[in-house]
Amino acid sequence: DGSGPQGYGIVYSPYTDSGDCKSQDDVNSDFAKIMAYAQNNGDTYDFVRIYGTDCNQVSTVLNVCEKYDLKIFAGVYNIWEPSAFSQELNILTTAANGDWSRFNTIAIGNEVVNQGKVAAKDVKGLVDQARGVLNGAGYTGPIVAVDTLVAMVANGEFLCDASDYVAVNSHPFFDGSVLPENTGEWLLKGMEEVSSVCNGKKTWITETGWPTQGNTNGVAVPSVQNQKSTISSMKSVVSSNIIWFTAFNDMWKTNSASTFNAEQYWGMCNN
């Protein structure tokens, strides 16, 4: 119906610390931890977000979503290389095998405009191309192009209409002027801003969170307590439409000064 999923989701990555692919057993074990974390913290996850199709992740995550009655927010990652793009779409439709009941949204790309991989004016054409393939395979749910809030506001004329609902990644930590207890208001303000740029279109936060380690950025200090305060603040202000970044620390990523050496430490269920 284009309005998108309801509730809260969490990001899941299919890579081991060394960057290898996780097995189905690894994924099963991870999700047991995710569910235990949710229960211990009084949280509910309605769905899980993945970014691509490598490592057989669509199938391994679908299998575990069946077990826990979760939906999947799937993604096609490489949309800037035509052969990779069509290959990923093929892997996705093959994994679904005609049963799209577990899929609540499919993202075409992640921050491609922000990263300079695709020009804003070209995004809608790529989304429409994917829509043709996905509709042809029986998928009729929401399709979105995820980008940063900044990129979406700057390029609304091109990006708003590319998606069934507006899907933005928005991280208060990188703002540097927001305390954890004020992140809920900050997030809502951003959602309202991007929604107004997109003529009142429904807006989803497809990535937000807070790191537990790394360098301080202005008033933003990485810590487990600040992560918990951030999530609590956001939940108190925004009652749905948030995907938390991320389930586990991403040790396969490389820390860099530009991201305050925090890149590996956004995991929630490690704590």
Question: Which is the catalytic residue, given 111, 192, 207, 263?
Answer: 207
Residues 249, 255, 258: CA angle, nearest 5 degrees = 125
Look up the domain containing 72 and give its range: 8-259
Q: What is the pLDDT of residue 4?
A: 66
Distance of alpha carbon 163 from alpha carbon 58, whole angstroms: 21
Q: What is the pLDDT of residue 3?
A: 60
Domain annotation covers residue 27: yes
Residues 226, 230, 234: CA angle, nearest 5 degrees = 170
Q: What is the pLDDT of residue 270?
A: 86
What percentage of the chain has pLDDT greater than the value 70?
98
Domain annotation covers residue 271: no
181 a catalytic residue:
no
Name which of 145, 203, 140, 214 is nearest 174 in CA terms: 214
> Tens digits of per-residue pLDDT, 200-239?
999 999 999 999 999 999 999 999 999 999 999 999 999 9
Lowest mean pLDDT among 6-10, 54-58, 112-116, 175-179: 6-10
> Tens digits of per-residue pLDDT, 82-112?
999 999 999 999 999 999 999 999 999 999 9
- Is-above-0.85 flag for pTM? yes
Domain annotation covers residue 29: yes
Strands (E), the chain: 8-11, 47-49, 71-76, 103-110, 143-148, 166-169, 203-208, 242-244
Q: Residue 22: which CATH number?
A: 3.20.20.80
Q: What is the pLDDT of residue 169?
A: 98
Domain annotation covers residue 77: yes
Domain annotation covers residue 185: yes
Distance of alpha carbon 152 from alpha carbon 189, whole angstroms: 14
- Based on the structure, what is the number of domains in the chain? 1
146 forms beta bridges with 110
Domain annotation covers residue 147: yes
Domain annotation covers residue 179: yes
**Residue 144 in this model has a pLDDT that exceeds 60:** yes
Domain annotation covers residue 2: no
Distance of alpha carbon 145 from alpha carbon 166, whole angstroms: 8
